[in-house]
Structure 1
């Protein structure tokens, strides 16, 4: 499923958060006109990555059972429900899931992370 298929998906240009708020993986609930959109945002080198916070196995948030979402080497996101692992840079499934996370395109403008097109 693409991130835009979620009923509560934000529109392009929606403010997510200040870049300074992102330390490791930030789990947040973005309020949109159609409800709450669950997101994970993180730094990846000099860039930022964002994904829908929904494991494709059961669509529960990756942090459903706790906030430890990064692997020890910092390259994978972990599902706290059933242990699936996803590449942090692409969202691709590495282990424990049939498909990857839904990426949300983001851009940094004036220190603020926003949804891009």
Structure 2
């Protein structure tokens, strides 16, 4: 799971969470190509059970509104021996203070 927050000015990490067990994932957060990027990687030998799951990255930004139109996420998973990828963006809008961006991921067949 990768969450990208466009660097629109003063964007910096302020935390992250997910609704699945923390010990099942490695989390990295860093700047890349004009984005703050949160990446969760499922650890070797772990699986994701069927269900809906939330991954969220929290961030601060400069005072005032912030356009979230350039933010996005990508989820890549393997289920039944096949790789699946979905992604998308967030509705444009503004945030007046720090923000949280996240996505829900649905696992229909459990995967890794």
Higher relative contact order at CA 8 Å, sep ≥6: structure 1 or structure 2?
2
Which of the pair is proportionally richer in strand? Answer: 2
Give TM-score, length-normalised by structure 1. Answer: 0.27
Name the TM-score, length of structure 2 as normaliser: 0.27
Larger Rg over CA atoms: 2
